[in-house]
Every structure is written in structure tokens, then in C-alpha cells.
């Protein structure tokens, strides 16, 4: 009974969020909800379009043992990588082969270079069972590399062992962190298995080895559990040409909520949550050169129990406290999540829901507790990066619903950036006629993606327009956030 109520609630939330689609269709909402609950969450069919057929991984017919859905993630400073893939059937074992291909970015310590011989690892293998009626099984495999050489391009393949033979995947490349503090990464959010307008540009930029990883602010596939989880497979195969070559450092969103987020927890099992002392991939952080990046699930405010909210906030407090002890080495803190706490679309997402996350939930005795903003201010977080709303918006430094600066230099508070406009079947969200709060600095109501160029004293952020015909458009927004160098203690003073 309780399970049915939970499923009903999930179905209702999805219907509410997708009301634009339903209002223009002739589907009977109650009939759809019943189908969604009792038929393994069929969802909406995604057909081949100009975006998801890229790389021919999406509509390829896979054999039971053929590797698919490759993706990669990193640990701190890319000292190790984790690789994951899937097979439709059970295999004897899984294998990762990787090898340093060439140095890049002026790597200076040639004497330390490992041999170019291939390194082979056996994987950790497990079965993921989708929560739909078919109880469809997917076989998952993951690896953690040995210590990697800095500033090096690696090539790798994964393999399925079947009948004592190895069936290898395509070869992909990724690279490790540079020796200098400067680096770049890609940022996006809200990507569908269809109508993923911006993804082709992310794939092309990923091939250049300029970008060290990609952040994704939640909501993928729309939805992974649809059609007994087969849409999740299609999506992961479509995204393989991005995720297998640019390490994934994303966050979870509400579209991953089915069956207690088990699709997300299993399919993205390679983010560094064990190093972050959390027990699943919905919460983690990573130190990367001058950056501390936190991935936090704001879904906990809507689906979690009181105890789960407290666990999440305690973890965040501990993580940021630790990060602040090392702020001289890693001056930047970016908070990555799905829901925004400031946005300018006229909807509950930007009012009621934003307020719950920002200011807290109402508990016993009508007391509000657990707001995120006080924690972020206390620990001097620099940037709040989110998705969920399907457009792009940048705020000025903001606190307690008030603009507190128009400069991004030595900002007294964080500012927020919404990047939920990669493209998905619900379409982009245009802005209304206003008026807008004075903390809203830039608004763009169509498709695009962002790049971040990071150094110890500046982050340069660029947002690009992506046209629906596949062309890369204009630069929509380009700005820099800067800070004076943190005072570096001399070793002599430390000894004293």
C-alpha cells in the first residue's frame, strides 16, 4: 500500500512538472498515471532525431555481451579514474585496458613516465534490476585505475569476457590534470534522450582535450526508468561519445527519482562518493587543482525524510569545513546541484520550491530549519550552479533574496548560475515579460551550454547558444569572477 502511494506521488510530480506537454495533448491524465504505475513506467517514446543518432551508439543493436554505455569519472586531481560500462547479459568477467598515449600541456618529468605497456584490470560486477514490472536486469561493471600520470592523455578500452574470449569496446581517450593550476571544464544540465540540442557541441569540444571534465546539473534521459529502463540504456549509449571521453562529475535531479533514485545510483556509480564518505553517488565532492566542487542532491528536500535531510546537511557542513581548511591551495568552491534557489520564471520552482531549499523546511512547532543558504554563506561558497529550469540565468552576488553587489571581484556572497538548457523533450523555458528582481543579471530562454576556465584568481565563464539545426550560435554571456590571491603562509612561519 505504502509503495503504491509513493509511486502515485512520483507519477503526480512528473505530471505536474510536464504540464505543458500534457495540456497540449489529448492524453487522459488519470489513464496515464495508472499506466505509469502499473506498466513499468512506460513514459514517453523518444525517437531518433538529429541529436541522439550522433556516433551511432543510440540506435545500434547490441548483443548480450557487447560493452555499451561507457563512461568515466575522476578522483581528486585526476590521480585515479573510474570507468563503468554495461552489458545486457551476464558475462564471465569484465576487463579494463588502459595505457598512456602521450604527454600534453608541457609535462616536464619524463623520467617518471610509466611504460606505454597496457595495464589490465578486472572489474567489479553487479546486477541492477529496474523497478518496473518486468524487473529487467542490466549487468554493470566498473573499475578504478592505479595512480595515473599527470598531464597525460590516456587511451582505454573495456572488454567483456565470454567463452574465455574478450569482446572489446571502441577505444576512447581521456586526460589527467595539468601540472599548472589552470584548467577548463564543460557545464550543462537537463539533457534528454531526445531533443538534446547542445550535446553535439559538447562532444566535439570533448575531443579537443581542452576540457578536463563535464559537470551536469541533474535531470537526464527523461526518464531512465521508462520502458522498463530501456530508455536509460538508449540515453547512456547516446551520451557515450561525451561521457567516455570527458569525465562525468554531475549531480542528480528529480527526473532520476524513480525507485529511490536507483537508476542514478547504479548507472553513475563511478563518481568519487566513497572518497567523499557518502554511501551513494548523490552526494560527493572532488578537489581539482584550485577548485573544490561539491555535488549535492537538493532532491532530499522533496523526497527525503527528516533524518535524510539532516544527514545530507551534516555531510555538507563537514565537507565545506574541511575544504575551508585548505582554501589557500583551493580558493574556489562551486556548489553543483539540480534545483535553483534563485530564478526568474513564474512557477513554483522559483518561488515555493526555491524557498524550501534556500530557507528551510517547516518542522515541529512551525519552526523553519535546514535552509541551504546559511550554510553556503557561512562557508563562503563562490558559485551555486544548478539546472531544473530549462534556460540560462546568472545572478549578481545575492543573499537573503537581495542583491548585495554588482561586482564579481572578492564577492561577499555566492552568485547563482542556472544551466538547465542542454535540451530535452519538454523544450526550453522562455522568460516572461518581467519585471525581474534586481539580483537577476542575465537571462537567456533557449538552448545552450557553458564553459569554465579556472585559475587560482579567476574563473571565466562563457555561455554559448546552440541552434536547433545543430549550428553553434553566438556567445550569450561571458563574464569573470575574480578574487585576490589568498595569503600563502611561508614555510618558515609555519615551522615557527
CA distance 136 to 122: 25
| φ, ψ at 429 (rounded to 5°) | -110, 105
Piece of the chain touching Fe ion by CB under 5 A; list 96-104, 121-129, 180-188, 252-260: 252-260
Q: Does 421 bind Fe ion (CB under 5 A)?
A: no
The answer to whether residues 413 and 397 touch, using CB atoms and an 8 Å cutoff, is yes
Q: Least Å distance between CB 216 and Fe ion?
A: 12
Q: Least Å distance between CB 16 and Fe ion?
A: 12
Residue 94: all three cell numbers together:
569484465
Q: Which is nearer to Fe ion, 142 or 267 (CB)?
A: 267
Each residue of 191-201: b (16+ CB within 10 Å) or e?
A: bbbbbbbbbbb
Among 254, 269, 287, 462, binds Fe ion (CB under 5 A): 254
Piece of the chain touching Fe ion by CB under 5 A; list 132-140, 249-257, 275-283, 378-386: 249-257
Q: Which is nearer to Fe ion, 82 or 353 (CB)?
A: 353
Among 43, 132, 206, 253, binds Fe ion (CB under 5 A): 253
Lookup result for grid cell 578522483: 75
Q: Does 359 bind Fe ion (CB under 5 A)?
A: no
Closest residue by beta carbon to Fe ion: 388
Site string for Fe ion, 219-238 (x = CB under 5 A): x-------------------
CA distance 490 to 486: 12
For residue 392, what are the contacts with CB-CB under 8 A and spacing of at least 6? 417, 418, 419, 420, 421, 442, 443, 444, 445, 448, 450, 463, 476, 477
Site string for Fe ion, 180-219 (x = CB under 5 A): ---------------------------------------x
Q: How far is CA 336 from CA 67, 122, 137, 215, 272, in A?
A: 30, 32, 31, 8, 14
Give the three-class secondary structure for 450.
strand
Piece of the chain touching Fe ion by CB under 5 A; list 106-114, 124-132, 247-255, 314-322: 247-255
Count of positions on this chain that bind Fe ion (CB under 5 A): 4
Listing DSSP states for 339-380 in one string gives: S-SS--SSSGGGTHHHHHHHHEEE-GGG-EEE-HHHHHHHTT
Per CB under 5 A, contacts with Fe ion among 304-343 are none
Q: Least Å distance between CB 195 and Fe ion?
A: 15
Q: Which is nearer to Fe ion, 100 or 253 (CB)?
A: 253
Our CA dihedral for 334, 275, 139, 422, rounded to 10 degrees, sits at 0
Q: Does 298 bind Fe ion (CB under 5 A)?
A: no
CA distance 60 to 124: 26
CA distance 371 to 303: 16
Piece of the chain touching Fe ion by CB under 5 A; list 59-67, 121-129, 254-262, 396-404: 254-262
Residue 127: all three cell numbers together:
546486477
Piece of the chain touching Fe ion by CB under 5 A; list 225-233, 251-259, 274-282, 374-382: 251-259
Per CB under 5 A, contacts with Fe ion among 375-414 are 388
Sites of contact with Fe ion (CB under 5 A): 219, 253-254, 388
Amino acid at each position: 500500500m505504502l509503495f503504491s502511494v509513493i509511486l502515485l506521488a512520483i507519477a503526480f510530480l512528473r505530471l505536474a512538472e510536464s504540464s505543458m506537454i500534457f495540456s497540449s495533448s489529448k492524453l487522459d491524465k488519470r489513464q496515464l498515471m495508472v499506466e505509469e504505475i502499473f506498466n513499468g513506467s512506460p513514459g514517453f517514446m523518444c525517437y531518433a532525431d538529429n541529436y541522439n543518432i550522433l556516433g551511432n551508439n543510440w540506435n545500434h543493436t547490441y548483443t548480450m555481451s557487447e560493452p555499451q554505455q561507457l563512461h568515466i569519472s575522476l578522483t581528486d586531481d585526476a590521480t585515479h579514474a573510474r570507468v563503468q560500462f554495461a552489458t545486457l547479459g551476464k558475462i564471465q568477467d569484465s576487463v579494463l585496458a588502459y595505457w598512456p598515449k602521450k604527454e600534453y600541456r608541457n609535462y616536464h618529468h619524463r623520467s617518471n613516465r610509466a611504460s606505454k605497456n597496457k595495464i589490465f584490470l578486472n572489474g567489479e560486477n553487479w546486477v541492477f534490476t529496474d523497478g518496473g514490472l518486468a524487473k529487467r536486469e542490466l549487468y554493470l561493471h566498473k573499475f578504478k585505475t592505479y595512480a595515473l600520470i599527470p598531464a597525460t592523455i590516456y587511451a582505454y578500452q573495456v572488454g567483456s569476457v565470454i567463452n574465455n574470449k574478450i569482446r572489446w569496446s571502441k577505444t576512447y581517450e581521456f586526460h589527467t590534470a595539468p601540472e599548472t593550476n589552470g584548467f577548463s571544464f564543460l557545464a550543462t544540465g537537463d539533457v534528454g534522450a531526445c531533443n538534446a540540442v547542445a550535446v553535439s557541441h559538447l562532444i566535439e569540444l570533448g575531443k579537443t582535450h581542452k576540457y578536463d571534465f563535464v559537470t551536469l546539473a541533474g535531470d537526464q534521459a527523461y526518464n531512465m526508468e521508462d520502458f522498463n529502463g530501456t530508455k536509460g540504456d538508449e540515453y547512456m549509449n547516446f551520451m557515450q561519445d561525451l561521457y567516455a571521453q570527458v569525465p562525468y562529475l554531475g549531480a542528480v535531479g528529480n527526473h532520476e527519482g524513480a525507485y529511490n533514485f536507483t537508476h542514478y545510483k547504479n548507472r553513475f556509480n563511478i563518481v568519487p562518493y566513497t572518497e567523499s564518505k557518502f554511501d551513494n553517488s548523490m552526494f560527493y565532492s572532488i578537489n581539482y587543482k584550485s577548485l573544490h566542487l561539491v555535488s549535492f542532491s537538493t532532491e532530499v528536500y522533496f523526497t527525503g525524510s527528516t533524518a535524510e535531510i539532516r544527514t545530507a546537511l551534516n555531510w555538507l557542513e563537514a565537507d565545506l569545513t574541511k575544504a575551508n581548511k585548505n582554501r589557500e591551495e583551493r580558493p574556489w568552491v562551486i556548489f553543483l546541484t539540480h534545483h535553483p534557489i534563485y530564478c526568474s520564471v513564474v512557477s513554483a520552482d522559483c518561488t515555493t520550491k526555491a524557498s524550501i531549499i534556500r530557507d528551510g523546511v517547516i518542522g515541529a512547532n512551525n519552526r523553519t530549519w535546514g535552509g541551504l543558504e546559511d550554510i553556503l554563506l557561512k562557508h563562503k561558497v563562490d558559485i551555486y550552479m544548478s539546472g531544473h529550469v530549462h534556460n540560462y540565468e546568472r545572478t549578481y552576488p545575492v543573499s537573503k533574496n537581495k542583491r548585495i553587489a554588482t561586482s564579481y571581484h572578492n564577492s561577499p556572497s555566492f552568485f547563482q548560475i542556472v544551466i538547465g538548457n542542454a535540451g530535452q523533450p519538454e523544450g526550453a523555458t522562455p522568460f516572461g515579460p518581467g519585471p525581474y528582481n534586481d539580483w537577476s543579471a542575465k537571462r537567456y530562454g533557449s538552448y545552450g551550454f557553458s564553459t569554465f576556465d579556472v585559475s587560482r584568481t579567476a574563473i571565466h565563464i562563457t555561455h554559448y547558444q546552440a541552434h536547433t539545426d545543430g549550428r553553434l550560435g553566438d556567445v550569450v554571456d561571458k563574464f569573470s569572477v575574480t578574487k585576490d590571491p589568498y595569503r600563502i603562509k611561508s614555510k618558515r612561519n609555519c615551522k615557527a
